[in-house]
């Protein structure tokens, strides 16, 4: 997993992007039997994301068509490691390239009518970002709507971190089960629990 210790790898080149996705796919298949709890976290993230999309769509439709200075034009964002994991663990369409392979580029997925990536395949930072105009629009929603929205954002933030940590732990070559064969592990004595 050393190559994924930095997101710069994912931002490098088309071949790196493709290789990174192939590697994640391969690791998921190889460790499938130990990744069910990681996949469950990804599913929960998907569920939480789906719950906020209607509000995000509403905020966008109220503000973006009249925006004089689209945030996507100048955005320096990329699909990070948690995004890649989420995409593969939940079977989302894999974007054909990193969104901005080079910092001087404009996002590959920006077209005149907006973003062409499905929301589930976008960088999470693109979904959670609310510009000042949208923040003002959100504040006009009921307290209940705002609280539910903030709760979902917080849950997604925590779950993404835990999904990534758990994936790295399971697939890391230094994980105990990879280093010490199960037959060599001395079972804990009955009655002793950690």
Among 55, 75, 138, 148, binds ligand SF4 (CB under 6 A): 75
Q: Give the E-state strand segments of 47-135 in sequence order.
A: 110-111, 114-115
- Give the shortest CB-80-to-ligand SF4 separation in angstroms: 12
Residues from 82 through 101 that contact ligand SF4 (CB under 6 A):
99
- 138/162 Cα distance (integer angstroms): 28
CB 136 within 8 A of CB 172: no
Residue 67 binding ligand SF4, by CB under 6 A: yes
User: Which lies closer to ligand SF4 via its Cβ, residue 134 or residue 152?
Assistant: 134
Residues binding ligand SF4: number (CB under 6 A):
20
- CA–CA gap between residue 24 and residue 16 (Å, rounded): 12
Of 45, 122, 163, 164, which lies in the binding site for ligand SF4, with binding defined by CB under 6 A?
122
Residue 147 is encoded by which pair of tokens?
Answer: 């609280």
Q: Which structure tokens are listed for 85? A: 């994991």
Work out the number of other CB atoms within 10 angstroms of the CB of residue 42: 23
| Contacts to ligand SF4 by CB under 6 A | 63-64, 67, 70-72, 75, 77, 99, 107, 109-110, 115, 117, 122-123, 126, 131, 133-134
């Amino acid at each position: 997993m050393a190559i994924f210790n930095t997101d710069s790898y994912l931002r490098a080149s088309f071949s790196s992007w493709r290789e990174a996705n192939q590697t994640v796919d391969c690791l998921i298949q190889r460790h499938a039997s130990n990744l069910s709890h990681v996949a469950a976290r990804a599913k929960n993230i998907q569920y939480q994301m789906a719950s906020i999309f209607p509000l995000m769509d509403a905020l966008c439709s109220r503000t973006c068509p009249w925006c004089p200075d689209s945030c996507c034009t100048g955005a320096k964002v990329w699909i990070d490691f948690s995004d890649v994991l989420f995409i593969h663990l939940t079977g989302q369409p894999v974007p054909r390239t990193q969104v901005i392979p080079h910092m001087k580029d404009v996002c590959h997925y920006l077209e005149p009518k907006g973003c062409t990536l499905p929301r589930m395949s976008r960088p999470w930072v693109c979904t959670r970002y609310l510009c000042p105009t949208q923040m003002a629009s959100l504040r006009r929603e009921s307290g209940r709507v705002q609280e539910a929205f903030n709760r979902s954002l917080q849950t997604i933030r925590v779950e993404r971190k835990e999904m990534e940590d758990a994936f790295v732990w399971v697939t890391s070559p230094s994980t105990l089960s990879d280093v010490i064969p199960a037959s060599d592990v001395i079972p804990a004595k009955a009655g002793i629990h950690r």
